Amino acid sequence: MTTDTTNDDDIGGSGYTLEQLSDYLDSGRTPAIEAIDDNAECQAVLASLERYGSLSRELVSRDATDNPALDEGWLSGLFASITREVKAGRDIPLTSSDPLTRLTITEGAIRGLIRSAGDSVNGVLVGRCSITGDDDVTVAVSISVLLGTPVHLAAEAVRQAVYTALLKHTELTVSSVDVTVDDVHVIANGGDRS
């Protein structure tokens, strides 16, 4: 690339070089520069740059589509590392008939219970859940409901299911189960890939 004369770098007689056009593009074309905006050649170069930028993104997406399979060995290596790092959370004490024994249940285990209880309700997927308190626990669950599912009925069913599961499988005293519906999904929803 020649850099010795300004004439060589100048685009369409605008007085601007490609490097300056690059900067202009990256600054969102603000503040507007008339000499660039009114110059057909500059506009063509800017349009090409934008086009090749978007084609580059397309190229990466195409690479991904062309190679959709992840190596199973690679995946199992990854999942082995991940399951080693269990998100147990804090220990929550359970009552015990033997005063010498201290029983606890991890927050992670309770979350697992809550998720499976909530998911068992038709048209419901559990998102986040939190457990606060030790003796009297308050549970907060966010859910997504399938489009067309009556929201109030679904939320109430989740509340009941979670409450029942906690009573049955833990000795926690559950003071309340708060259910928030913060999403609606459709059955063909493959996720937000935007």
- Show contacts with another protein in window 108-167 (CB under 8 A): 108, 111-112, 115, 119, 125-129, 142, 144
Provide, rounded to whole angstroms, the least separation between the CB of residue 106 and another protein. 9
Residues 28-45: b if buried by 16+ CB within 10 A, e if exposed: eeeeebeebeebeebeeb
Please give the sequence-ordered ranges of beta strands (E in DSSP) within 32-115, or none if there are none: 91-94, 103-106
Q: Which is nearer to another protein, 120 or 160 (CB)?
A: 120
The DSSP bridge partners found for residue 145 are 124, 184
Residue from 4, 71, 72, 98 in contact with another protein (CB under 8 A) = 71
Q: Is residue 79 a contact point for another protein (CB under 8 A)?
A: yes
Q: Which is nearer to another protein, 112 or 150 (CB)?
A: 112
Please give the sequence-ordered ranges of beta strands (E in DSSP) within the chain, or none if there are none: 91-94, 103-106, 124-132, 136-146, 173-185
Q: Which residues of this chain interact with another protein, rule CB under 8 A?
A: 1, 17-19, 22-23, 26, 45, 48-49, 52-53, 55-65, 67-71, 74-75, 77-79, 81-83, 85-89, 108, 111-112, 115, 119, 125-129, 142, 144, 183, 185, 187-193
